[in-house]
Amino acid sequence: MTSQLTRQKAGTNLLRKLTASPALPAWVRSLQAPVLKRLVDQIGVADATEIIVHSTTSQMQELFEVVLWESLEPGRPESHRPEKFLEWADAMLGAGEAFTAHRLIELGEDFITQNLAPLVAVYESDLLASHDDEGRCECITCRFDARDVPWDQLGDYVIAAEHADEWDTVRTLIMSLDDADSRCLQRILARCCRRAISRGFSDDGQHSAADAAAERQQKRESTGYVTPELAAVFLRTTRTTDSETLLREARYDDITAQCFRARTAHAAKAESPEASTEKDDEPSPSISDLEQHQLDTILREGEVIAEIPLLLAAPQNTNAFVPELQTHLDRLQWTDSTAFMTRLSELVHLANVLVAGARFKGNRFTEPDAARAALSCANLGLDLWLTAQNLTRHAERRDAIENVLMDEPGVVKLFRIGWQTLQALPRRCGHALIEALQDPHLRGRLSRRAWILAEIDSAISDPDLLGLIDEAEFEDVSDNLHLLTLILDQRACRCLQTLITDWPQYPVQLETGLEHAKLDNPEVRNVSTVRHLERIERFLEDLHLYLKIDA
């Protein structure tokens, strides 16, 4: 609750600072859609009316292609979420019904139909001919009234709410569209009509919702966007590829190459003279360099954008660990800006892959967590690659790193090496735990305490611990590890819970030795070096030392 209130307060302060500038309209129109999305996310959609009203139709079109779709699970296909459209519609209505109607019409009848159809039931009004004032009537509107379903009649159609609590907003939208362009609305209602939807809009040459989703995905992929499905395939194939193959990799994998080719082609098309004629014809108010700088500074202070790329931002704590890869990328920024921008785009791509296709502590990766994870995983891969080549001297490492960062597969190769190793950790930990708990000496000492042995056997075989790990059922694994505190030191159990998860992390307790660690020290870091792996391996090899045999 405190965190939510803090975010709301930060969003309110950000909005207040922005709206104090007279240059806000021109500045909003200059924002790229991803930045505009992060700004609205920070403020909150419900409070973003003053930002939305100054946006262009093309900005909103790009925005809606992202915010109205969601993958309920990382790696799963994105689905259309009409409730999100209502949230944005409420914010747009805050700028007036006329503004909302005209903006929706500019976005197109396909867009309105796709978002309105799931929210209303539309019937042709000739069904009203069956209404009977005498006796008990079973016509459609009487059935609506009997079930307290809100409805209205508009021209040739009867419109009813799919969800009563949404009706006020939906009806306001429909009536505002009728005021702005009644013929347009009638065409939309015809397409929303139950009879048309059941035929998949085939009667007027329109596509079904499934077709629209497929077209959207194809369009997004053509711009280099990493869909959840592509991200999941990339991560899965990386995990299952032989480590020697990854170490020898000399070019991008197929998915990364496809994304980068599409991104390059899309950027070239966007910069072409033909593309400039397709942009908004709305007049753009002027904005001075000073006003632009002031408003951009507000965004940086509000953490909507970073003054330098987030992936390479120096830690606030000057004593904090700085990955070797980050140091070399910082240097590359000054020695070869072209190579630096390519490597940076690889890191951004990898962060997007994690957001779309991976889990972090049971949930989705946030953008900041994904950025840090991509960098640390690539740094782990770099350290593993250097170790495999037996490069230990500083000069040798420096030259090798500079070479690998000059061309593809660059950081992508390093990330893949790190990811494959990182994803093997949970199973390695599971094997080590089973081996320690099946030790004959331990079981002999506990032979008179059958109930403890039963708990141990249940924790590792009912269901099978390794099977749970392979199926990524890490919450169940964590529950089983909690049972093992009967026989295993609590600190060791906590370390295993940190390692046997979707994103294994390095328990800082291992730095000083687990025997000296505090029970209440939950501090973790991303696994980013071979030294981290060696300390984890030493902990697993010594796991039997943390068994409470005399329990």
Q: What single string gives the DSSP state of each residue in 31-51? A: S-HHHHHHHHHHH-GGG-HHH
The secondary structure of the chain in percent helix, strand, coil, rounded to multiples of 5, reads: 65, 5, 25
For the stretch 350-375, pLDDT in tens is 998 998 899 998 888 888 888 899 99
Report DSSP state, residue 97.
H
Within-domain flag for 317 = no
Tell me if 365 is assigned to some domain: no
Please state, for a pLDDT cut of 90, what percent of the chain lies above it. 27
Show which of 179, 203, 227 is a domain's final residue. 203
Select from 148, 176, 203 the last residue of a domain: 203
* 312, pLDDT greater than 70: no
The reply to whether 25 falls in a domain is yes
- Beta strands 363-364 and 359-360, pairing class: antiparallel
Show Cβ contacts of residue 205 under 8 Å, excluding neighbours closer than 6 positions: none
Residue 386 in this model has a pLDDT that exceeds 80: yes
pLDDT at 426 exceeding the cut of 60? yes
Residues 471-529 have pLDDT tens digits of 888 888 888 888 778 788 888 888 899 999 999 999 988 887 766 656 666 788 999 99
Half-sphere exposure of 495 (CA within 13 A, CB side): 29
The reported pLDDT for the residue numbered 100 is 93
**Per mean pLDDT, which range of 27-36, 104-113, 197-206, 280-289 is the poorest?**
197-206
pLDDT given at position 281? 47
How large is the average pLDDT for residues 188-205?
59
Q: Are 324 and 381 spatial neighbours (Cβ–Cβ below 8 Å)?
A: no
Is 243 among the domain residues?
no
Instruction: Tell me how many domains the chain contains.
Output: 2
The pLDDT score that the predictor gives to residue 505 is 93
Inform me whether the pLDDT recorded for 199 exceeds 70. no
The answer to whether residue 397 sits within a structural domain is no
pLDDT at 145 (0 to 100): 75
- Would you state the pLDDT for residue 390? 87
**Long-range contacts, stretch 430-434, CB < 8 angstroms, 24+ apart:** 430/465, 430/466, 430/469, 430/477, 430/500, 431/466, 432/540, 432/541, 432/543, 433/460, 433/465, 433/484, 433/496, 433/543, 434/460, 434/465, 434/466
Query: In sequence order, what are the beta bridge partners of 153?
Result: 158
Question: What percent of the chain lies above the pLDDT cut of 70?
Answer: 82
Q: How far apart are CA 342 and CA 548, in angstroms?
A: 52
Question: What's the whole-number mean pLDDT along residues 38-44?
Answer: 87
From CA 304, how far away is CA 346, in angstroms rounded?
A: 21
Q: In this predicted structure, which of 221-225, 327-331, 401-405 has the lowest mean pLDDT?
A: 221-225
Spatial contact of 453 and 427, defined as CB atoms under 8 Å apart: no
Which of 181, 203, 225 is at the close of a domain? 203
Report the chain's mean pLDDT, rounded to a whole number. 81
Residue 411 has what pLDDT? 94
Does 27 map to a domain? Answer: yes
Compute the residue count for the chain.
Answer: 551
Poorest-pLDDT segment among 239-243, 246-250, 300-304, 499-503: 300-304
Residue 379 lies in a domain: no
- pLDDT, residue 311, reads 52
Q: What was the pLDDT predicted at 550? A: 62
Among the listed ranges 40-54, 96-110, 232-246, 256-270, which one has the minimum average pLDDT value?
Answer: 256-270
Label residue 166 exposed, middle or buried (CB < 10 Å: 0-12, 13-18, 19+).
middle
pLDDT, tens only, 140-162: 777 777 777 788 888 888 888 88
For residue 136, the model assigns a pLDDT of 65
**What values do phi and psi take at 366, rounded to 5?**
-80, 165
Task: Give yes or no for residue 192 having a pLDDT over 60.
Answer: yes
Q: Is residue 208 part of a domain?
A: no
Domain that holds residue 530: 424-546
